[in-house]
Amino acid sequence: MPFIPLRPLLDHAAANGYGVCALNVNNMEQIQSIMEAARATKSPVIVQASRGARKYTNDIFLRNLMQAAAELYPEIPFVMHQDHGNAPDTCISAIRMGFTSVMMDGSLEEDAKTPAGYEYNVAVTREVVNIAHRFGVSVEGELGCLGSLEHGTGEKEDGHGAEGKLTMDQLLTDPDQAVDFVKRTGIDALAVAMGTSHGAYKFSKKPTGDVLAMGTIEAIHKKIPNCHLVMHGSSSVPKNLIDEINKYGGKIKETYGVPVEEIQRGIRAGVRKINVDTDNRLAITASIRKSMTEKPEEFDPRYYLTPSRLAMQKICEERMRQFGQAGHAPSVPVVTLDQMAKDYAAGKYGENAKPTNDAAQHKGKGTGKAMAH
Ligand code: G3H
Ligand code: 13P
Ligand code: ZN
């Protein structure tokens, strides 16, 4: 099966009431884990690469690994997605590389640390939509900054994330502003901020509604029921994996992730793409630590990579079943990029999703100021 864009997959997910996990990859083994899980559960997949992944793996290696996966698993509808593009140029280079979907994260400035002004976010996102839709490539935007409602801070764990203190206005996507943002940018999917953050340290105890604001998602969905919503930072951080890592010499402090039942609640409220990376990292690390401790005399990487690949596959299968995408691979429509480009131009996805020439005049620098709601 050829690569497909994100939009028709999320349209299919919405029509059938399921969500799709978007899984990060950095190497061959992770791609293999995802594809085996997809085959075992008959799931469509969104395979995503961050800027860090593209740098670590190298674009040519990455593209060829993705192509190998599409060739070896022809029955699996496959979206190749750029995670957290920090600037239009990152998205453009991804499109040139063959990605069928890009995220323009204009909630932060190009440094991927400074919260951006609202008009800056609209302008850079619109600019990417304008280019991407000409090629039939889908676009995800983000409104609001990921970060902790417990501490009022951005996330520090990954390279991509707001630094320092943030206001509640910045940490929670405003539903009215979401309406304006989607209308003005013409995006295919909207990532929202509601208390999740990247990495393992999301919550100090099992989250309740004050720190994991699922109500915000529901309020946004009510205002824009036809917009596909995206939850970032959606790893569940399973306790058994933390325990296993620590049992074999790791040092992970007590921490809590996003409970799967909360994600399922989100799926009932329009969440169609759920980003998961940390859970897979934990599964791989737990497995490798165990293998190395049990047989310290081994030095063939295949000895510890083979079970770690299976450990990640297990997590992926679980999420594919829990989010409801399992079983849907055969019925996802195969839409080519050329067809999508024609459809956007014809206004099938709404006039705002049509490429226009006026986006260029919005092009400009961010204000550097915090986003005002
Ligand atoms: O955006 C967050 C993902 O977990 C990717 O992380 O930037 O370390 O590759 P990364
Ligand atoms: P986690 O760190 O919760 O897995 O989130 C990943 C993510 O949002 C990637 O964009
Ligand atoms: Zn993310």
Class of domain 6-347: alpha beta
Q: Is the pLDDT at 372 greater than 50, yes or no?
A: no
Q: If you measure from the C-alpha of residue 354 to the centroid of ligand 1, how many angstroms do you get, rounded to a whole number?
A: 30
Each domain of the chain, given as residue ranges in start order, spans 6-347
Q: Rounded mean pLDDT of 43-66?
A: 97
Atom of ligand 1 minimally distant from the CA of 199: 4
Q: Determine the Cα angle at 301 with ends 296 and 303, to 5°.
A: 65
Q: How confident is the model at residue 153 (pLDDT cuts 50, 70, 90)?
A: confident
pLDDT at 156 over 80: no
Ligand 1 pocket, residue 84 CB under 6 Å: yes
Cβ(50)–Cβ(83) below 8 Å: yes
Ligand nearest, relative to CA of residue 54: 1
Please indicate whether residue 53, judged by its CB atom, sits closer than 6 Å to ligand 1. yes
Residue 200 falls in which region: left (phi positive, over 0), alpha (psi -120 to 50) or beta = alpha
The answer to whether the pTM exceeds 0.85 is: yes
Distance 225 CA to ligand 3 centre (A): 22
- pLDDT (tens digit, 9 = 90+) per residue, 228-277? 999 999 999 999 999 999 999 999 999 999 999 999 999 999 999 999 99
Quick one: pLDDT band at residue 154, thresholds 50, 70, 90?
Answer: confident
- How far is the C-alpha of 61 from the C-alpha of 88, rounded, in Å? 22
Q: How far is the CA of 347 from the centre of ligand 1 (A)?
A: 34
Rounded Cα distance between 186 and 356, Å, is: 10
Residue bearing the CA closest to ligand 2, atom 9: 275
Query: Is residue 360 scored above 80 in pLDDT?
Result: no
Mutate to test the pocket of ligand 2, among 6, 50, 278, 282 (most ligand atoms within 8 A of CB): 278
Per residue in 81-125, pLDDT (tens digit) is: 999 999 999 999 999 999 999 999 999 999 999 999 999 999 999
Q: Which long-range contacts (CB under 8 A, 24 or more apart) does 166-171 make?
A: 166/115, 166/370, 167/370, 169/370, 169/371, 169/372, 169/373, 170/115, 170/144, 170/145, 170/370, 170/371, 171/144, 171/145, 171/147, 171/195
Quote the ligand 2 centre to 297 CA distance (angstroms).
35
Atom of ligand 1 nearest to the CA of 50: 9
CA of 233, nearest ligand number: 2
Decide whether any atom of ligand 1 lies within 6 Å of the 52 Cβ: yes
* Residue 372 DSSP one-character state: P
Please give the structure tokens belonging to residue 236: 């569940």
Q: Please state, for a pLDDT cut of 90, what percent of the chain lies above it.
A: 90
What is the set of active-site residues?
83
**2: confidence class by pLDDT, cuts 50, 70, 90:** confident
**Confidence check: pLDDT of 144 > 90:** yes
In the numeric block, the tokens 């509808």 are attached to 77
Q: What pLDDT digit, counting tens, does each position of 181-239 carry?
A: 999 999 999 999 999 999 999 999 999 999 999 999 999 999 999 999 999 999 999 99
Q: Which of 231, 277, 312, 315 to mutate to test ligand 1, by most ligand atoms within 8 A of the CB atom?
A: 277
Quick check: CB of 174 below 6 Å from ligand 1?
Answer: no
